[in-house]
Every structure is written in C-alpha cells, then in structure tokens.
Amino acid sequence: MLRTSTRLYRPVCARTYATGAPPHALVFLEHRKGTIESGSLSALTAAQQLGGQVSALVIGSSEHVGGVVEQAKKLKGLTSVLHSTSPQYAEPLPEIVTPLLKKLLSDSSFTHVVSATSSFGKSLLPRVSANLDVPTVSDVTSVEHDASNDSTIFTRPVYAGNAISTVSAPSSIPIKFFTVRGTAFAAAPTEEGSNAEAKAVEPVQVDDCPTEHIKTTIAKSDRPDLSVASRVVSGGRALKDAKTFESTLYPLADVLGAAVGASRAAVDSGYADNSLQVGQTGKVVAPELYMALGISGAIQHLAGMKDSKLIVAVNKDPDAPIFQVADVGLVADLFEVVPQLVEQLKK
Amino acid sequence: MRPSPARLLNILVPVKRAVDYSVKIRVNPQQTGIDTNVKHSMNPFDEIAVEEAIRLRERLPPGTVKHIKAISIGPAKSLDVLRTALAVGADSAAHVVLPENAPAPEPLAIAKTLASYINLQNNDAAKVAKDGKVDLVVLGKQAIDDDLGVTGQMLAGLLGWGQATFASKVEVDVGRGEVVVTREIDGGAEEVRCRLPVVITTDLRLNEPRYASLPNIMKAKKKPVEKLAPSDLGIDYTPQLTTLRVTEPPKRVGGGKVGSVQELVERLKDAGITGV
C-alpha cells in the first residue's frame, strides 16, 4: 500500500541506499553550562556499539561551545566533533535545533541519530524524525547493528518495565533515531591520545520561531545528581510532610553520600521536588544501593529502580510489594529505624 | 457589552485506550506481546489532557473555548475512551477505526493521522467557517503501554507548529494568541512562550482529572462521534519497525527480611556499604 501521506511530508533529505552503508552515528551531546551531561556519555557508548564511525554534535552559545568541544575531542571512540555556535542555541528549543539537524542529515552519511533519554532529547528527536518520515525508538537498553542487511536491533522496556520488547529497524529506515537509557550503558571515558577532529557547522538561523524560552529553574542541591548517584535514599508517602521528609532522609543521605529520591506519592503530596521522582514517569536509576523508605512499591515506582544492585526496604506493612524485590527488608517504623541507621553508619 | 475575544480556541485532545495502569501485565507464551484480555482504560496522561482542556474552558472567559474534540485511533473498543472523554466534558469525538486484529499503530502513523485530520479541518474554508481552526492540541506525554512518548513531538514537527512537552502548567492568553507553559525538565522546570497554534503534552502534575458523574455519562451517549476509516485520511498503518519478540524482564527475587537495624547494617557492610 502506498504511504499516501508520506508524499506530503517526504523531506528533501530522504535518501535510499542501494546497499547498507557503514554505520555512522550522530550523537547529540548535551551539556549544561559547559559540562557534558552524563546521559550523553552513555549515549556515546551505545552509539559505539553500532560498530562504525561516531560523530558528536555540540551546540550552544559562544561562551560554552569551545570548552565542550575540547572535552569532547578527548572522548574515547569519537571520530569527529561537529559544533555549531549561535545565541539561539544558548537555551535550545526543539523548534530551533530541528532545522540544523535536518540540514546535517541531508548532506552527510549519517545512518543513526542518538541522544540520551533526557528531557531535551525526548523533545527533539521525534520532531526531527517525523520530518524525515522515520520513527524514534525511545529509551533503548541495548543496541546491535547488523551491517550485512543494514538493520539495527534494539531492546527497550515497555509497560513500565514489566516487559522487554526487542524491535528491529530494517534497512527501509534510512536513518535510525533512538534515545538511550543512561543506566543501561557505561559513560564513555576520556582516553589519553584521543583527538577527534573538530568541525564547525554553520548554525541555521530560525526567524519567527513559534516558541520562545522564558526561563529555566534548576533545583539546587549539594547532593550527587539522582540519575547518576551510586547510592540513593528514597522516601514515600509515609514521610508525612516536606519538613519530615528533609529532617528524616537528609541525615541518612549525608552519612551515605547518597542522592535523595522520592516516590510519586511523596512528590504529589508536596514533600519533595518533582525532579526527585523515581519511576516510570520520573527518573530511572540503577545505583549500587537503593534504600526505599516508606515506599509501598507500586509498579510505576519499581519501573524506575528495579535494576539497582542492592535494594533495601523499610516499611511498616509486611505485605508491601516492595519486599518482593528488596534484597534486604525490614518491617519497622522508619522514624525509629532511620536515626538508628544514621548512628550505626557513623561508627 | 464585552468585546468578543480576539480568538476562539478549538482544542483537539487525542486519547488512547491502553491497558489499565493497575493491571499486572503478562507476556504471552508466543512472546509476541502481552495478554490483552485485561482491563483497559484511558491512558492516564490523556485523562490529564482532557481535564486540562476542560479546565481551560472553565478558566478562560466564557465562550473562549469554542469546542473540545477528543480523537482516538484504534479498534472499535476505543470508543469507550472517547465516551469517557465526552462524559467529563469534551463536546464531540472522532474515531479513526482500525481493524480489530491489526498490529498496534506506531506513533508516527498516529501523528500523521492527527496532522491529516487537522489539515482537513484547517485547510477547508467551509469547515473553518463552520467550526473554526484547531489551534491547540493537548495530548499525554506518553502512553503507559509502549512508553515511547513521541507522538506529540512528531505531530508538532509534521505541522510545523510550536511544541511544549511535559507541561506542568498552561496559561493561555487568547488576546495575544499565546500560551505560556511551564515544563518539567531534568533537574527542574522551564518556562516557554508559544504562539498559537501549538501542541502541548501533559505531565502528571498538570492537574488532577475529575470523575464523570452518572448523568454526564448518560448525556455523553448522545454526543456526536464522527467515524472515519484510515483511507479517509490516507494513512498507511503498516509498522516501520518489526517487533521480534516481547519477553519477561529478568525476575528479581527479594532477599528476605531482617529482624533489626543491627542486622540491616551488617548486610550493608557485607555489601561493602558503609558511611562516608
């Protein structure tokens, strides 16, 4: 059957290959004020597993791009670093970055476009891929490219992680877009002697953008970042209120050097900031230690933490589902347990 | 006399019928998918989208929101979720009916369907004169079955409209034809101003959906539902990706319980975890 509507949207840059081209991935390398995001480093590792060239794209204002490019050049496995500087890229919006990506993809040999499953990656990649009439495969946990038939096989969790779907993107998809679950891939390391080629790319000026950035508010914290912390202490509804949440969990997090997380119930009740939510609709974490305090363990929460190495649960309810996945469970009142824990861990 | 608003809003709310969020799903023995013979309901993020459309109508000056239309693309049973949307306050619905045993449509095909539907409405002078243009699409940030979370962005890309994903607050200024959206981003929040028309995807914290009352459920049965076939919109639903298999995730077995804090700390120490 004809893809009738395809004709309407068929972009100028759609190409058809006679045979499989060697993979060449373009990784959208995100940075926050000049520091490369760890999720992007994981995306780089995933891109390397395709077995071909890997290029990175860095965008931003003139203030940050130079520094990021210098960092990026030393990353292991990176062939080239494309960079584009424009005041418009300082606070990038998908509407502004899409034309740049479309241009890059139209006159080069890229076969894959990769980003972290970050809020920006999730907003950008599908917008671009739809313009090229191809899908975006979200939040992949493994990737494997078969150069002989130009297909890429991905696995990704579905149904809140209660099933794993294995999908193949066949050769009929000329450019394969995917976002990468950070916890499933190690971060690409810096390697002595690496010196990827840096190449400046003309920015594509977008006039009359329908969207305008007003402001960004980042929740400040001295603690390690939740999504990359090796230890996480998480609280649920049982923490009663925001003050109790802080006064109970923070001392324990401090003694463990852990990040603080929260269940959706705790976030919805206003005990903790949105950015701390762990679960299907929040962050996905896989630390060495995950302590679930006063969290019952709903499917949606488990989706965000069940790949943790060691799960410890403290809950008053012996039948709480969290105990079915916890390596170490303690049925007790967390308000009695936590101070004791802090004290004993200090020893 | 109050001056009439500069612009009347027509809101389109795409909704999806998905396995209910509380169902513990089971992978089928053939490993082709999951057992779908379970309770289904409207995708929770779409409930939030419908609610937001209704709240906009309640919040803005009377008459500003001209029409709220829910749309679903799926087998006959998807009509249930459209009725739910109508029962809480949508004015009408459109249903693109897919064959019962067809493979689940991919987000890109859904986005094309929506774009095609919107273009049909917005590019037809007679239709615009009668019903006005669709200028606001509100949809969930992801469906809780495929967890892809891409449809809204694809739709915005196809239409060339602005997009505001993961919205936790939406403020419409009809006079200026603008929407200010607070978005949830990694580590915090971001505010953007979008010109209408725009595509907004909802995060959980945008609002708390209401329940439909019995009288409204009864009334919803009389509200109009337009039925369309895929061919009416010229969309091919053949998947681009091939699902090779669907499997159970590795089972995690609980390690049992300990009796005291002392024991808990011992176990932590055994695992090499001590205070810093």
Q: With contacts defined as CB-CB under 8 Å, which chain B residues touch A306?
A: 249, 252
Residue A168 with chain B: CB contacts under 8 Å = 241-242, 244
pTM of the model: 0.92
pLDDT in tens, B29-68: 999 999 999 999 999 999 999 999 999 999 999 999 999 9
Is A295 labeled as ligand-binding? yes
Q: What is the pLDDT of residue A282?
A: 87
B182's enclosing H/E stretch is strand B178-185
Shortest distance between the Cα of A83 and any Cα of chain B, in A, equals 23
Cα separation, B265 vs B164, in Å, equals 46
- Are the beta carbons of A257 and B276 separated by less than 8 Å? yes
- Our measurement of the distance from residue A160's CA atom to the centroid of its chain's CA atoms, rounded to an integer in Å, reads 16
Q: Which residues of chain A have pLDDT under 50?
A: 1-12, 14-18
| Cβ separation B108–A172 shorter than 8 A | no
B154-210 pLDDT per residue, tens: 999 999 999 999 999 999 999 999 999 999 998 889 999 999 999 999 998 899 999
Residues A321 and A305 sit within 8 Å (Cβ to Cβ): no
Distance CA B154, CA B148 (A): 12
Report the DSSP beta bridge partners of residue B180: B171, B193
**What is the spatial distance between Cα B122 and Cα B37, in angstroms, rounded to a whole number?**
39
Chain B, nearest residue to A30 by Cα: B186
pLDDT value, residue A6? 45
Radius of gyration of chain A from its Cα atoms, rounded to whole angstroms: 22
- B81-94 pLDDT, tens digit per residue, is 999 999 999 999 99
Helices B44-59 & B79-88, crossing angle to 10 degrees?
A: 30
A217 is in an annotated binding site: no
When pLDDT is averaged across residues B256-264 and rounded to a whole number, the result is 92
Cα-based torsion angle of the residue sequence A155, B18, A5, A165 in order, rounded to the nearest 10 degrees: 10
Q: ipTM of this predicted complex? A: 0.94
Enter the DSSP assignment of A257: T
Q: pLDDT at position A2, please?
A: 45
pLDDT at A8: 46
Chain A contact for B25 (CB, 8 A cutoff): yes
User: Residue B130: pLDDT band by 50, 70, 90 thresholds?
Assistant: confident
- Tell me the residue length of chain B: 276
Q: What is the pLDDT of residue A9?
A: 47
CB A129, CB A113: distance < 8 Å: yes
* pLDDT given for residue A98 in this prediction: 98
Enumerate residues 6+ apart whose C-beta is below 8 A from A8: none
- Bridge partners, B42 (sequence order): B17
Q: How far is the alpha carbon of B88 from chain A, nearest alpha carbon, in Å?
A: 23
For position A20, what pLDDT does the model report? 59
Average of pLDDT values for B255-276? Answer: 90
Check whether B142 has a pLDDT greater than 50: yes
Of B111, B145, B252, the CB nearest to A306: B252
Side-by-side strand order, sheet with A163-169: A142-146, A151-158, A163-169, B242-247
Query: Closest Cα of chain B to A63: distance in Å?
Result: 21
Beta-carbon separation of A326 and B168 below 8 A? no
Of A159, A167, A331, the CB nearest to B241: A167
Looking at residue A111, the DSSP 8-state letter turns out to be -
Percent above pLDDT 70 for chain B: 98
Q: Residue written as tokens 């002392």?
A: B262
